[in-house]
Structure 1
Amino acid sequence: MWKTLRSLPRTVWLIGLISFVNDSASEMLYPLMPLYLASVLMAGPKALGLIEGVAEATSSIFKLVSGVIVDRTKRSKPWIVIGYLLAGIGRPLIALASSWTWVLLIRFTDRLGKGLRSSPRDVLLAESVPADQRGITFGLHRSMDNAGAVVGPLLAALLLSLNVPLRDIFLWAVIPGVITVVLALCLKEPAREASVIPKKFTWSMEGLPPQLRRYIFVVGLFALGNSSDMFLLLRARDAGVPQEQIPLLWAAISLITTIFGTPLSALSDRFSRKYFILIAWLAFAFFYMAMSLPNIAIWMICGLFGLYGLFKAATEGVEKALVADLAPPGMAGTAFGWFNLISGVMLFPASFIFGWIYESYSPTYAFLFSGSCALCALVLLAIWVFRANAPNQTA
């Protein structure tokens, strides 16, 4: 694995570095959002669910748009630069928000930037390496991304321990925002094959193979149960985890994902990717079912959050590598666009429904709903997407 890592091209490492810096800023603020909304703007779980749902749905729609544009223009870099620029502008503005509706608008801008950059970035990664290095490439990217998610919460915990106001912490995000834009300007486009996509784009997934369509559909069902991770932090706080330890708990998840993301994804280059995804989705369902326990202890939450980190490590890179495996030549942008659209747009109903159940009934029913969606998706993935007559999906 180490020899393969050293042989990866400069573009892969540069994209990983950009994601590291960007996520250091993003994840410094992410675990503070529920606290900021609740303690400063006096907004509850319903508002949180609406904000995250709208933000992620926006991101998902533009992931498809940018993916299709990349297939037609054969250029990824401009959209990556614009995406990081919008994120760098939007995040610090949360400090100036006077109500949760302003936070909604700012999060919309931030997620618009993510939507414009994500599919072009995934295409750039997939086309920078041969097929038998896709797993380790996406795994490395996710590991470096999650390394930033370790640094960010640690910075947040440090600033909170120094009694820095929540509003001021959001202002610090402007510095990494500038750095990511400068680094993105240093990216270079790879040589690309001639396009074989349909001349006119349609919303019917024209040109994508049936197995990829089935896979995207099941990913959407799974995403219906995968609401915003902010609810996990809210659940931890409600269960008695001290406020100053919430960022540390989130950092621990990211650390586990950072350590195990690359080696697990690298293994998927040698063995069937489907087993990694099936086992990880089963772990996710168990995690949400266990989090539904009414009187869950803090030590149980810590252990379950560790399991959640392993789930993320085993899926974040492998799921995207499988999309690249199934995508036809010249349609990687469209394939990633549809994958990102469906998996992300479902976060709106997922977060809204989860927040509504959480506040109107109880956290128990909310987590049971998510776990049930995951189990249904797991069954369909095993018997419908990875059926016996389908080709074994390895790189």
Structure 2
Amino acid sequence: MSAERRKALRFILLLGLVSLLGDVVYEGVRGAAGPFLASLGASAAVVGAASGLGEFLGYGLRPLSGYLSDRRGGYWGLTLLGYLALLSLPLLCLVGSWQLAVLLLLLERMGKAVRTPPRDAMLSHATWRVGRGWGFGIHEALDQVGAVAGPLLVALLISLRGYRGAFSFLLLPALLLLLFLLLGWRLYPRPSLLERGRGEARVKRGFRPYLLFVVLSTSGFLTFPLLAYRLTSSFSDAEIPLLYALAMGTDALLALWAGRAYDRRGLSSLLLVPLLSLPVAPLAFLAGGKGGGLLAVVLWGASMGVQETVMRAAVGEMVPGGKRGTAYGLFSSLYGLSGFAGNALMGLLYPSPGLLVAFSLSAELLSLPVLLRLRGVEG
């Protein structure tokens, strides 16, 4: 392995550890946020509205963050600012009203919007050295370790120390995260140098049809809360978190495999996204039973692993370095908001499982000709 390749791999691992610790904090609080707000007197309507607004802010502000990171010519400042917002979550241990708690939760979601595009842009420079797919696969796998560990850790701490004791403990991984981030800034002040030698200056023609593919494939993909809501008819409340852990574990394993597949097959590997997503809704809503539900969860996790790896890798391949912050901001915003809109519609269709499944299948199937056109443009 060359010195440049080792250097790039260390950078990917460093940002992977940052994301792992970030998910320990965020995912840990996310699973407990609803019951905690209820304990402060918040109604179900408040909890739902706060969650929806948080997701909207977390995705809707990303194009602005990405544009600013490109315009400023550097990514570290906005990345650090975004991760500093994670400190709002340990502060939940001090609040006495649901209004202040909601404000802190929304602040963290805004921080997520600020940090994600510049972070992914920096990652894309390093992944050029090790393979775009493999690099993003490593990052996603580490990220999912935190996504599994966070809720389990917080659940244990709540049982031992209550909400406030659990949230106060999260200050430790949050500070450790910032330490790793500052170390990365010092060791790699200009991550773009990791991609030195690539002279491409234009956005590839396939980027627009690629974004349409992202919108269609994600709008028909169930979010886990909606999937879990359906699965409560076959599984107990205590089993649902275990199913989520299974999905996240599958996500982590498939991310590494999907990354290798992208490096070998390029955009053809995007076909895995609709193929893995297509059976999820029919298995959950029409097949029924524990067997169908379990298979739906595994396929859901597999599809997530491919999406979080291959889709991000493709952006880095299509867009030159100086425009990647904007590109990642636009990509992740469309990814999140189309999923939000699609699942809002599927939530309305929930009383009619046949219609819900028909919408999900239609969106995934419509993404296939777009993908074929994309391959033709890039080919």
- Give the TM-score of the pair, scaled to structure 2: 0.83
Counterpart position of 1:14: 14
CA distance in 2, matches of 1:47, 1:281: 34
| Residue identity (%) | 25
Contact 2:277 2:300 (8 Å CA) reproduced: yes
Aligned pairs for 1:116-265 within 5 A: 116-130=114-128, 133-159=131-157, 162=159, 164-166=161-163, 168-187=165-184, 188=188, 189-191=190-192, 208-226=203-221, 228-237=223-232, 239-243=234-238, 245-265=239-259
CA distance in 2, matches of 1:291, 1:39: 32
Contact 2:274 2:365 (8 Å CA) reproduced: no
The question of 1:391 aligning with 2:340 is answered: no
- Structure 1: unaligned runs, 5 residues or longer: 199-206
The question of 1:340 aligning with 2:332 is answered: yes
Counterpart AA for 1:260: L
- Structure 2: unaligned runs, 5 residues or longer: none
Counterpart AA for 2:284: M
Contact 2:274 2:368 (8 Å CA) reproduced: no
Give the drift of 1:330.
2.2
Counterpart AA for 1:308: W
Contact 1:49 1:351 (8 Å CA) reproduced: no
Counterpart position of 2:294: 302
More helix by share: 2
CA distance in 2, matches of 1:5, 1:41: 53
The question of 1:331 aligning with 2:323 is answered: yes
Counterpart AA for 2:264: R
CA distance in 2, matches of 1:149, 1:302: 19
In structure 2, the CA distance between the partners of 1:103 and 1:241, relative to structure 1 (3 Å rule), is farther
Contact 1:138 1:320 (8 Å CA) reproduced: yes
Aligned partner (choices 313, 324, 329) of residue 305 of structure 2: 313
In structure 2, the CA distance between the partners of 1:90 and 1:31, relative to structure 1 (3 Å rule), is closer
In structure 2, the CA distance between the partners of 1:103 and 1:214, relative to structure 1 (3 Å rule), is farther
Give the drift of 1:17.
0.6
Aligned partner (choices 268, 281, 284) of residue 291 of structure 1: 284
In structure 2, the CA distance between the partners of 1:41 and 1:214, relative to structure 1 (3 Å rule), is farther
Counterpart AA for 1:330: G
CA distance in 1, matches of 2:284, 2:230: 8
In structure 2, the CA distance between the partners of 1:227 and 1:309, relative to structure 1 (3 Å rule), is closer
Counterpart AA for 2:191: P
SS of equivalent residue, structure 1 residue 313: helix
Contact 1:34 1:230 (8 Å CA) reproduced: no
Counterpart AA for 2:207: L
Give the drift of 1:348.
4.2
In structure 2, the CA distance between the partners of 1:24 and 1:277, relative to structure 1 (3 Å rule), is same
Give the drift of 1:270.
0.8
- Give the TM-score of the pair, scaled to structure 1: 0.80
**Residues paired across the two proteins, number:** 370
In structure 2, the CA distance between the partners of 1:52 and 1:353, relative to structure 1 (3 Å rule), is farther
CA distance in 1, matches of 2:164, 2:96: 9
- More moved, 233-242 vs 23-32: 233-242
Counterpart position of 1:280: 273
In structure 2, the CA distance between the partners of 1:216 and 1:63, relative to structure 1 (3 Å rule), is same
CA distance in 2, matches of 1:132, 1:183: 21
What is the root-mean-square deviation of aligned Cα atoms in Å? 3.4
CA distance in 1, matches of 2:297, 2:200: 42
CA distance in 1, matches of 2:66, 2:236: 41
Q: What CA deviation, in whole Å up to 9, does each residue of 1:239-286 have, x standing for no partner?
A: 44233x433322222122222311221221011333x33233232231
CA distance in 2, matches of 1:353, 1:343: 16
Give the drift of 1:37.
5.5
CA distance in 2, matches of 1:240, 1:37: 25
CA distance in 1, matches of 2:228, 2:161: 20
In structure 2, the CA distance between the partners of 1:105 and 1:221, relative to structure 1 (3 Å rule), is farther
CA distance in 2, matches of 1:328, 1:279: 25
The question of 1:32 aligning with 2:27 is answered: no
Contact 1:156 1:247 (8 Å CA) reproduced: no
Contact 1:8 1:129 (8 Å CA) reproduced: yes
Give the drift of 1:67.
1.3
Give the drift of 1:51.
3.0
SS of equivalent residue, structure 1 residue 130: helix
In structure 2, the CA distance between the partners of 1:43 and 1:349, relative to structure 1 (3 Å rule), is farther
